[in-house]
Structure 1
Amino acid sequence: MLLFIQVDAPQVCLIKMAPLKVLGALLGMGVLPSVLAKLVKFEANVTWAKGAPDGNLREMVFVNGQFPAPALTLDQWDDVEFTVNNMMHHNLTIHFHGIEQIGTPWSDGVPGLTQKPILPGETFTYKWTATDYGTYWYHSHARSLMADGLYGPIWINPAPHTPEPFHLISRNPRDVAAMRKADRNPKLITLSDWSHFTSEEYQKIMEETGIDLFCVDTILINGRGAVQCPGVDFINSLQTEYLKASIDYLPLTDKGCYPDIYKTQGDFYKDVSKLPPGLESGCIPTAGTHEVIEVDPRDEWASLKFISATWLKYLMASVDEHPMWIYEVDGHYIEPQLAHSFVIYNGERYSAMIKLDKKPKDYTIRIPDTNADQIIAGSATLRYKGGKTGVEESKPYVNYAGMNTSADVIALNESILAPYPNIPIQTAADQMINLTLGRRESSYEWTLEGEQLYDVMANYDDPLLYNVSARANLADKVTVATKNGTWVDLLIQIGLMPHTPPIQAPHVIHKHSNKAFIIGEGPGFFNWTSVEEAAAERPELFEFEKPRLRDTFLSLGLTGPAWMMVRYQVVNPGPFLIHCHIETHLFNGMGIALLDGIDQWPEVPPEYAI
């Protein structure tokens, strides 16, 4: 392990502007953050070199010589100093995905909002407090370097006496103890998609062709994988009638990509003749590498924490012959739900508890694409320690295309992931912000606001945290101000845009800073003036008793217009991005800046002065 870690002795520190509900809960349990805090230092040397995670050599990013970047394991309330040494020829920043950055907006890692980019040869230290437990990850937020390998997992152990949901899985005290132990020693599983084109090359192809690209070469598990070429006949045998009809019954390519799907991207300029060879077809298999996750059956239970570090793809996860209890989502415990498979979108995290009561041998962890725009899959091995390897195939719940292998397979119901314990929310909001999603200007340029594109590089030299008036450099509708302490509703809906059909693939909307509650969703357009009015007329579309708590929200609308309403309280003044986590969509305009608590704008510490 090349990760440099320094842990100082526990120290007494100030409680750093944590939300009152968090502090109240801690005090009620007799747990003081100041007692728990220790200083943990990480140093990340970021380099650009050639690598071949799937057996195909290309230029990519390494952190301390590793890919993916080293895992950060912390305890709740730790103080973190994360020092980045930029040894590349690209500028960069690091965002800690899902970390709320309470009281430390200068460490959120968004260039143009909270900092200037870290230039080649420069060093920057992020300082923040692990105010919440759970599964997170860190990745680049400058350029599209996440697609080139700049990402790594984070696991934060819960503070003592944190309410846990394990008794809802089993009432057996031995099981509960084993699950608690497994949760403190999890298997971190980072999922990602990989292209043989660098992010810059991929962007250039979109600009030259006018096409919103979607094909990749490999699905990686913890940075390991191989190019699989199962054959055109096999791939096409897995198509549904709906998908066949959507592409006029044309065969898929040997990479599993959908041909002529560009007609669903609107009547913008497109030139298919400029697509380079090898992007969508021309599959060449590689030996690559294969990830093995070893578990000890003597532990009786294992925790598998899945992190989606994909930059394009929506994936699915399933472990052969092992039912999963999903018990933590986006860094927060939920009321556990039994499932054989679940879909995990860009940036999301799902923790699965599995019972190690099967025959000691190898079992396949299957990670197919969700079949939205390509049939492709990756796999890893769950290996029982001391068991026989390679003796017999395990029985799958899902196939190479992510479809159930039998009617008995249980898919996770993502609409009822209630937080544990339940968290009451404000009954009415003070402000509603309308986010209307769609294409603008070209097939690959997207708006989150409805009309305007967010220029990710507009304020690189004049970040809004340091100069809020620099919002004038952006389009006037892509910055929205809120007041501290207020409750805000974010209306996320698919819109009817010029030159664009109403059907869109789902968008994965990620909110920086504190999490938000999903309080409602429905078909069509939101034709009410407020949530109160809508809930009075259509109460079945809303959930106020046990709303889901997420930092990532999946827009609906695959078969037409749809809306979702999420609610959060402004508790952390500063400029925070909300954006589509499909990397090509963000880079090409799909985001807005929430100027949270503009009435109590934070003062930047002298050490971060620019």
Structure 2
Amino acid sequence: MRFLSIAPSFLWVSLSAAKVVQYTFELTSGTVAPDGVERKAILINGQTPGPTVYADQGDEVSVTIVNNMDIQSTIHMKGSIWSDGVPGVTQRQIDPGVTFIANWTANEHGIYWYHSHSRAIYGDGLRGTIYIRPSEEELDNGPFKVIAQALQPDASGSVGPDVDTEIKAMKDAHNSATVVSLHDWSHWDSETGLKLWNETNIELLCIDSILINGKGRVVCPPIETFTPYIIPGLIPEYTAKGCGLPNNTVIQPFPNSKPDLVPKDIFFTCKNTTTPLEVISVDAKKKWVSLALVNIGTLWDLKVSIDSHKMWVYAADGQYHEPQFVDVVNIPPGERYQALVALDQPAGDYQFRVAANVLPQKIAGFAVLSYAPNDSSSKVVPHATPKLGLGYGGETLPGFKELNETTLAAYPSTLKPPQEADVTLTMIVQRLTSVTWSMNKDPFLPFMELEEPLIFDPDSAKNIDPNIVPSYPLGSVVDAVIITLPGNPAHPMHKHGVKSWIIGRGSGNWTWNSVAEAQQAHPEFFNLDKAALRDGFRTPDSITEPNWLVIRYQPVEQAVTFFHCHINIHLVGGMALALLEGMDKPLPNIPQYYLDFDKHAKHTQIQAAEKNASPSESAASSIPIPWLQTAFALALSLALWA
């Protein structure tokens, strides 16, 4: 079965007082060259990233997903367990030629994103952004007055016409935010990358470019650019791509590694390109622009700065926070920030800089912030001449201020976490083998994608390692203590479902039975008065000793909630959990369309397995068809656990 090509579209339909926003996504395979080098990709309506989903807070959103690829996939969206899209957890895979409808309510405002949760293929292009405009009440609750008063020369904080004018301009900017997606990009597809990882036991910690809104260039600065970043005994040499060598035993510490089998192009070959850069157009008459920044990448933390402009960061992961006035913002994969930028500079074009903030690779990407739209994209990029606080290798330069994520506090200040918890989950994050990671002692392996979704069969969790399927009653206040053992980098963790409070962090062994015990011993490690409220949590680096992070949350509806690292290879390697929240009772009110899809998908997938062939009528292509895909997932699981 095949469908006609469907152009990017959306439609507003009035149903009583509610508004339904409808989109159609056609998934296809194709080729793209966003940085000037062509490669295979997955497209949404012919593009990657896919179209931005826009809605107003309170809208009902319906996204029709038409799978015209030759592989199965899902799409994880915001707002409902019926649009959660995690195969084996909340949904079956969408087979080739099959349509699935994801329905959800835009309950929360701000910047979000959608992506595939099948294997590692969102890195092939199956991803895009979501922006939810706030209700009038939520707009009025924003921290815009705090920023406007901070701009006044009079420290008394008195409200005057200028403040009111600034507040209105900021609200207008927030309502019409400019979405800016950032992501790493490689010239090899995800299946090739996973295959090489398993064959060589080398993590491919080397990307080709950084894209801003899907545009960018391959940047190959002079080799001396990397000299300041060399650390004898740790990183003694960087390649032309700015990558640590694949035979570096600090970065690739396993004795079974085979660096000589990794194709040279992945770590060494770099050729400059001159493809167009993204131009972010602004209008000085509006006084402010709100940048909705989201890292939709698979690997690296990315730092952002704008030449000659500072930023008021006022929201994180769709939640208002106390504003911070900064020059540089670090954004791990999956995380989102909103920043207000005053448009008070002379008309012209300014470099928008993005750099990977990591040890294994030094790489930067660029866009243009333009007060006067023109052919800015053709301008030469000054590769290694930072102007406002950000070095080529991601370092914040002396005299400039970087956002401090550890001091973020939810706004307004009346928002506070529950003061006590009912359940404590202790999770031990570690690397088990060269190709296996775990979030709690044991890995959540790829074959789980092929299983009956836990949402329909929670009793099957009894047959699964309890370390990766913890459960607790609905309404429990849960503390999750995430312990990273020595040798771990920082991990950008993401929990689906309700947001969580980040209430503590510390170094050394976690030796307590509960947060309450730990608070008594070390109150300085905790903050339950001014805590961040987020769905992304960056664990501390753990180089020579363990470190830990504590989040607190309270589920409000029955669900099976996925919790995972947002570094793609770590997730595929097993760094994930499925949280059974109130699943001791049957799920009420499962939508009939969801049941029908599950029944149909189960039937066709059983048939495909029995026939050892694809349920699609299409011919085989260079991208694996479903039965090969299934075999690959099983083989990968065996390899990861071997």
Same fold (TM over 0.5): yes
Match of 2:147 among 169, 179, 185: 169
Q: Within 2, Cα distance between the matches of 1:264 and 1:224?
A: 29
Match of 2:234 among 246, 249, 252: 246
Q: Within 1, Cα distance between the matches of 2:338 and 2:586?
A: 36
Name 2:431's counterpart in structure 1: 439
Deviation at 1:527, TM superposition (A): 1.0
Q: Within 2, Cα distance between the matches of 1:365 and 1:386?
A: 15
- Residue 262, structure 1, aligned to residue 240, structure 2: no
Deviation at 1:589, TM superposition (A): 0.7
Deviations 1:49-93 (A, max 9, x none): 011111101110111112210001110011111110001111110
Deviation at 1:533, TM superposition (A): 1.1
Structure 2: which amino acid aligns with 1:206?
Answer: W
Tell me, yes or no, if the aligned pair for 1:437 and 1:448 is still in contact at 8 Å: yes
Name 2:607's counterpart in structure 1: none
Deviation at 1:266, TM superposition (A): 3.7
- What are the within-5 Å matches in structure 2 for residues 329-340 of structure 1? 329-340=316-327
- Residue 542, structure 1, aligned to residue 542, structure 2: no
Instruction: Provide TM-score, normalisation by structure 1.
Output: 0.90
Name 1:131's counterpart in structure 2: 107
Q: Within 1, Cα distance between the matches of 2:558 and 2:184?
A: 34
Tell me, yes or no, if the aligned pair for 1:368 and 1:376 is still in contact at 8 Å: yes
- Residue 342, structure 1, aligned to residue 334, structure 2: no
Q: Within 1, Cα distance between the matches of 2:579 and 2:36?
A: 42
Distance 1:371 1:316, change over 3 A: same
Q: Within 1, Cα distance between the matches of 2:492 and 2:168?
A: 36
Q: Within 1, Cα distance between the matches of 2:577 and 2:84?
A: 15
Partner of 2:280, secondary structure, is strand
Q: Within 2, Cα distance between the matches of 1:533 and 1:371?
A: 35
Q: Within 1, Cα distance between the matches of 2:302 and 2:416?
A: 32
Distance 1:408 1:51, change over 3 A: same
Match of 2:131 among 138, 151, 155: 155
- Residue 111, structure 1, aligned to residue 99, structure 2: no
Deviation at 1:473, TM superposition (A): 5.5
Tell me, yes or no, if the aligned pair for 2:431 and 2:488 is still in contact at 8 Å: no
Name 1:523's counterpart in structure 2: 507
Deviation at 1:277, TM superposition (A): 1.9
Match of 2:187 among 165, 174, 196: 196
Partner of 1:261, secondary structure, is coil
Name 2:605's counterpart in structure 1: none
Distance 1:368 1:477, change over 3 A: same
- Residue 577, structure 1, aligned to residue 562, structure 2: yes
Deviation at 1:265, TM superposition (A): 4.3
Q: Within 1, Cα distance between the matches of 2:479 and 2:126?
A: 32
Distance 1:584 1:121, change over 3 A: same
Deviations 1:384-443 (A, max 9, x none): 0379966998933212112234x2201111111111113122111111111111111x22
- Residue 224, structure 1, aligned to residue 215, structure 2: yes
Partner of 1:263, secondary structure, is coil
Name 2:9's counterpart in structure 1: 4
- Residue 205, structure 1, aligned to residue 196, structure 2: yes
- Residue 455, structure 1, aligned to residue 436, structure 2: no
Q: Within 2, Cα distance between the matches of 1:187 and 1:372?
A: 30
Name 1:317's counterpart in structure 2: 304
Tell me, yes or no, if the aligned pair for 1:492 and 1:565 is still in contact at 8 Å: yes
Tell me, yes or no, if the aligned pair for 2:300 and 2:358 is still in contact at 8 Å: no
Tell me, yes or no, if the aligned pair for 1:513 and 1:572 is still in contact at 8 Å: no
Name 2:624's counterpart in structure 1: none
Name 1:568's counterpart in structure 2: 553
- Residue 372, structure 1, aligned to residue 356, structure 2: no
Match of 1:234 among 218, 225, 228: 225
User: Which stretch shifts more, 289-298 or 3-12?
Assistant: 3-12
Tell me, yes or no, if the aligned pair for 2:243 and 2:267 is still in contact at 8 Å: yes
Partner of 2:62, secondary structure, is strand
Match of 2:460 among 446, 465, 470: 470
Deviation at 1:235, TM superposition (A): 2.2
Deviations 1:456-495 (A, max 9, x none): 3325241111111232554332101111111000010112
Structure 1: which amino acid aligns with 2:30?
Answer: A
Deviation at 1:602, TM superposition (A): 1.8
Partner of 2:467, secondary structure, is coil
Q: Within 2, Cα distance between the matches of 1:184 and 1:573?
A: 32
Structure 2: which amino acid aligns with 1:63?
Answer: I
Instruction: Figure out how many residues of one structure are paired with residues of the other and give that number.
Output: 567
Partner of 1:8, secondary structure, is strand
Structure 2 unaligned regions, length at least 5: 1-5, 150-162, 600-642
- Residue 296, structure 1, aligned to residue 283, structure 2: yes
Deviation at 1:288, TM superposition (A): 2.3
Name 1:421's counterpart in structure 2: 412
Instruction: Provide TM-score, normalisation by structure 2.
Output: 0.86
Name 1:181's counterpart in structure 2: 172
Identity of aligned residues (%): 36
- Residue 479, structure 1, aligned to residue 469, structure 2: yes
- Residue 381, structure 1, aligned to residue 368, structure 2: yes
Name 1:22's counterpart in structure 2: none
Deviation at 1:381, TM superposition (A): 0.3
Name 2:617's counterpart in structure 1: none
